[in-house]
Structure 1
Amino acid sequence: MAEKQQKETILVNGYAYPSIAPETLNAWLPDLTFVSTFSYGFTPEGQLIDLMDENIAGPAQAAGVQALMVLTPLDSQGAFNNELVRALLENPQAQNRLVENILANIRTKSMFGVDFDFEYVLPENRDQYTNLVRAAREKLNAAGYLVTAALAPKTSAGQRGLLYEGHDYRGMGQAANFILTMTYEWGHAFGPPMAVAPLDQVRRVLDYAVSEIPPDQLLMGIPNYGYDWKLPFIQGESRAEKLSLDEAAARAARYGAEVFFDEAAQSPYYYYTDGDGVSHVVWFENVQSLRAKLTLVSEYGLAGISYWNIMDYFPAGSEVLREMYQVAKV
């Protein structure tokens, strides 16, 4: 009788807001290595803006899952503020204070490390951002803690655009312990209907990422949601509805919609007409599309995956993950 092949062990991260339902968090915990609590803020002077995340960190630790604190420069409207980033990065004393405050918070809450998620960093602050992450890693690693960084889905070093220019893949790969690629949001709430994470686009990002960062430092982002667009789409006016994957599937069944599968994007979609006679298109993830994404982990030799986000549970998704991989506990 042939021996059963041992499954590859991978790291699995999931982002969660403190508003996550306890039953949802508990459903996810067996399939997570890390849970990243979203998000802490900071002031220009380097003071930490606390997150009441004990309802995530406590159950996670009890289940053998390590909690990471996510640090973002979000303003009071929930938008990324690159002027706040600039003020911090151009003040060495504030950076030192911030790193000390991060370390103190991790110790106080018995967490495992920090995930830096600074988006729309100005190009002139790129290297300063890399240096901040490096300084944090040196300080935190010496104390036994982890530093990760979430990066925009770049396909080349010189890629233009504010989302990309402030993120140095090679530098950040050297600065942080792990890099989380945000390989999602091609299809997004304000954009035209398309797959959230088309596999051909995800491959382009991974091809570039592994040329700059050792694959065993990379966690590939996977979306745990879909979008429903009303048709016709009108740029600047239309806004798609975000759906859980269970709701996306249930909606197709409710309207008797035929689900199609885009071969290039390796993603499902369907059309339906609602009770008011309005046409819709839905792009989402299902077992087939998630399996296609998960296959990339072994193909590229990645460290694992990172779900954005785990606010809804998709049992079929967890089943396909367990079918393919063993989830590491650290």
Structure 2
Amino acid sequence: MQIHVVQQGQSLYSIGQAYGIPYEDIARANELTDPARIVVGQALVIPITGSFHLVRPGQSLYSIARLYGTTIEELARINQISPTSMLQIGQRLYIPQMTKSIIDVFLYVEPRAATIESTVQEVRNRVEDLTYLGMFSYEAQRDGSLKAPPIDDIPEIAARAGVLNAMAVTNLENFAFSPDLANFLFTNQTVQDRLFENIVQTANRIGYSDIHFDFEFVRPEDRELYNTFLRNARARFHPAGLTLSTALPPKNSDAPTGVYGGIDFAAHGEIADFVTLMTYEWGYSYSDPQAVSPLNQVRRVVEYAVSQIPSEKIFLGQNLYGYDWTYPYPPVTGVAARALSPKQATNLAISRNANIQFDTVAQAPFFLYWDNNGVRHDVWFEDARSIQAKFNLIKEFNLRGIMYWKLGLAFPQNWLLLTDNFIVRKR
């Protein structure tokens, strides 16, 4: 696969000619709403075998070969040049398809009663690309029972495709993550035992293989209590044939205070069978406009995580959405940024004829536009370039895989590049 960024004056037809493929193939791969309309700065995935590299200043066959995990001799042979050739800036080199690494893919699904039919269809469309499907969420109650989501036949669809079903258990209470509820469950042994028993019974009845705790805003003073809770859970779940996983916030140090102080990365790495890093939400509903998962910040979290947890237990978290912020910034109370999928963001840029820019530090696309009332909007989202940067991070740190939040947000380029970069493991 090739990632192509649209330049001034280009059309889908001319881009297709440049790569020797019909423009309809490009439109189909990227699920373009109107193939006649593209915008400067838009990233397109070109469905070809291998890719092309344009030589940049200071690059040599040696540095390019290292970049793509091949040899000078192989690169020279494929491009029919001498291994000692001096490269020209802008020279196009063909890069053959590299050997794919094998990873796990974890995707959250959050079914709602009002949209369950479309959710079921989306699950059918995605299961071939998954290792785990995480059902979000079973809310732990103060009597040890569980408030279940409307699951329909989603677990059966996943299981038939060889996907392992994960049961996400949360400390959500009254539509918010509750540190009080978490503390209650940690400290009341009777309720805790009843909760674990209900989890096991539900897992056996529905067919869940993994119990995935997503407890958020745990207080710093409850850190050891949470660790003990997880050890108790593992002692109950493993004999029942269930694995245990946890969702971790984007920490980059072991600061024992603050909103993430209750989460002990080293302990989770020792107790859990695997963990998912929630490496997103730097840009969020009430923040200043910025990338949701800037690569420089994500890298810091990964560097810290691998210092505390075996890399083969770590999933990199990835958002399947962006935000449209309305001036003034940060948003005034009650006026939140609007979430939108990468496909919706690209269509918005096209409809507003807004050139898409790219932040090379955050490795994220963005654009500005003014609405019909003359009010400024800033949109940050994900595209082929930003997701490829995350895939490269997974390879660099030999992580177990990638976790997506969440199903239902259209990002066709992600799924194309996922299967171009990796083989998805079925366990």
- Both structures adopt the same fold (TM-score exceeding 0.5): yes
The separation in 2 between residues aligned to 1:281 and 1:47, in whole angstroms, is: 43
* 2:176 counterpart of 1:84: no
The separation in 2 between residues aligned to 1:124 and 1:28, in whole angstroms, is: 40
Question: 1:66 deviation in Å?
Answer: 1.2
Asked if the contact 1:262/1:268 (under 8 Å) is kept, the reply is yes
* 2:193 counterpart of 1:57: no
3-state SS, counterpart of residue 284 of structure 2: coil
What is residue 216 of structure 1 aligned with on the other side?
Answer: 312
How far does the alpha carbon of each residue in 1:130-155 deviate from its partner, in whole angstroms, 9 at most, with x for none?
Answer: 22222222322222211110011001
What is residue 165 of structure 1 aligned with on the other side?
Answer: 261
Question: 1:86 deviation in Å?
Answer: 1.0
Cα pair distance change 1:274/1:290, threshold 3 Å: same
The separation in 1 between residues aligned to 2:142 and 2:239, in whole angstroms, is: 26
What is residue 238 of structure 2 aligned with on the other side?
Answer: 141
Question: 1:5 deviation in Å?
Answer: 4.7
Partner AA of 2:318 in structure 1: I
Question: 1:274 deviation in Å?
Answer: 1.4
How far does the alpha carbon of each residue in 1:129-184 deviate from its partner, in whole angstroms, 9 at most, with x for none?
Answer: 1222222223222222111100110010115422x111000011111100101000
The separation in 1 between residues aligned to 2:327 and 2:140, in whole angstroms, is: 40
Asked if the contact 1:137/1:177 (under 8 Å) is kept, the reply is no
Asked if the contact 1:24/1:312 (under 8 Å) is kept, the reply is no
Partner AA of 1:287 in structure 2: A
What is residue 74 of structure 1 aligned with on the other side?
Answer: 172
What is residue 181 of structure 1 aligned with on the other side?
Answer: 277
Cα pair distance change 1:192/1:234, threshold 3 Å: closer
Asked if the contact 1:183/1:205 (under 8 Å) is kept, the reply is yes
* 2:296 counterpart of 1:203: no
Partner AA of 2:106 in structure 1: N
Cα pair distance change 1:263/1:159, threshold 3 Å: farther
3-state SS, counterpart of residue 227 of structure 1: strand
How far does the alpha carbon of each residue in 1:189-215 deviate from its partner, in whole angstroms, 9 at most, with x for none?
Answer: 011110000000000000110010000
The separation in 2 between residues aligned to 1:113 and 1:290, in whole angstroms, is: 26
Asked if the contact 2:139/2:171 (under 8 Å) is kept, the reply is yes
Asked if the contact 1:137/1:175 (under 8 Å) is kept, the reply is yes
What is residue 6 of structure 1 aligned with on the other side?
Answer: 99
Partner AA of 1:189 in structure 2: S
How far does the alpha carbon of each residue in 1:258-299 deviate from its partner, in whole angstroms, 9 at most, with x for none?
Answer: 100001100000001112211111000000100001111110
Cα pair distance change 1:61/1:128, threshold 3 Å: same
Partner AA of 1:120 in structure 2: F
3-state SS, counterpart of residue 88 of structure 1: helix
The separation in 1 between residues aligned to 2:282 and 2:97, in whole angstroms, is: 38
* 2:404 counterpart of 1:311: no
Asked if the contact 2:331/2:337 (under 8 Å) is kept, the reply is no
Asked if the contact 1:131/1:175 (under 8 Å) is kept, the reply is no
Q: Give the length in aligned residue pairs.
A: 328
Among candidates 340, 343, 346, match of residue 243 of structure 1: 340
How far does the alpha carbon of each residue in 1:49-83 deviate from its partner, in whole angstroms, 9 at most, with x for none?
Answer: 2223233212111221111111111112x111111
What is residue 228 of structure 1 aligned with on the other side?
Answer: 324
How far does the alpha carbon of each residue in 1:90-120 deviate from its partner, in whole angstroms, 9 at most, with x for none?
Answer: 1112111111111111000011121100000
Equivalent runs, 1:31-42 vs 2, <5 Å: 31-42=129-140
Asked if the contact 2:220/2:257 (under 8 Å) is kept, the reply is no
Asked if the contact 1:41/1:74 (under 8 Å) is kept, the reply is yes
Equivalent runs, 1:319-330 vs 2, <5 Å: 319-330=416-427
Among candidates 11, 16, 40, match of residue 109 of structure 2: 16
* 2:93 counterpart of 1:29: no
Percentage of matched positions with identical amino acids: 38
The separation in 2 between residues aligned to 1:232 and 1:289, in whole angstroms, is: 27
Normalising by structure 1, report the TM-score. Answer: 0.95
Asked if the contact 1:28/1:313 (under 8 Å) is kept, the reply is no
How far does the alpha carbon of each residue in 1:198-256 deviate from its partner, in whole angstroms, 9 at most, with x for none?
Answer: 00000000011001000000001000000000122145434100001110111011111
Normalising by structure 2, report the TM-score. Answer: 0.74
The separation in 2 between residues aligned to 1:166 and 1:72, in whole angstroms, is: 15
3-state SS, counterpart of residue 189 of structure 1: coil
Cα pair distance change 1:204/1:244, threshold 3 Å: same
* 2:392 counterpart of 1:295: yes
Cα pair distance change 1:4/1:279, threshold 3 Å: closer
3-state SS, counterpart of residue 54 of structure 1: coil
The separation in 2 between residues aligned to 1:311 and 1:99, in whole angstroms, is: 30
Asked if the contact 2:256/2:262 (under 8 Å) is kept, the reply is no
